[in-house]
Amino acid sequence: MTRKIVHLAVYDTQADWETGHATAHLAQNGFTVRAVGLTTEPVTTMGGLRIQPDLALDALDPADSALLILPGASLWDTGDKLAPFARAARAFLDAGVPVAAICGATAGLAREGLLDDRAHTSAVSFYLEATGYRGGERYVEADAVTDRDLITAGPTEPVAFAREIFARLGVYEGEQLDAWYRLFHDSDPTAYEILSA
């Protein structure tokens, strides 16, 4: 992977817990994480944290990125305010640049038609069915799913979500990837030795 910048979408009401494992370990492994907002105005997360975006969405170019991460947020289910991020995801996927969406962001991608022909997951199948999308037969009951350049996960699976991101970007592979997951998902102390070797 030559591009070492990962773009994290940030917006009001975003779920703080869903992307922390991914962004922290990407940053520790040579990636720069840049926050992209609808504008460069600060946003406030569900947890009350204030985030200043590094750039506005209209300045985001898939050619400058290794990955776009879309966290969940209440706003995904209360109107079309975040629809521009789903359109950006389409541009990324069309350019062959991966997208990772978790929780409510999966509903945004469903509305955009990006889950109609890809295996995917979310919180529960009927959550996505409510969007009116046509990809229901491609829904998978799993912690996280990768199909081509698209990674999806439900809101309770930030560790599995991060694992899929690391696998796609080559951050951890094979035994190390498995050890990372066992350490952070299962609290398996034997995994630490493998990671620190």
Task: Quote the tokens at residue 169.
Answer: 């970007």
114 included as an active-site residue = no
Secondary structure class of 96 (helix, strand, coil):
coil
In the DSSP assignment, the letter for residue 31 is P
Among 66, 86, 103, 169, the one annotated catalytic = 103
Q: β-strands 55-56, 32-37: how paired?
A: parallel
Q: How many CB atoms lie within 10 A of CB 195?
A: 15
Q: How far apart are CA 49 and CA 12, in angstroms?
A: 10
Residue 35, CB-side half-sphere exposure with 13 Å CA sphere: 19
Secondary structure class of 19 (helix, strand, coil):
coil
Catalytic positions: 103
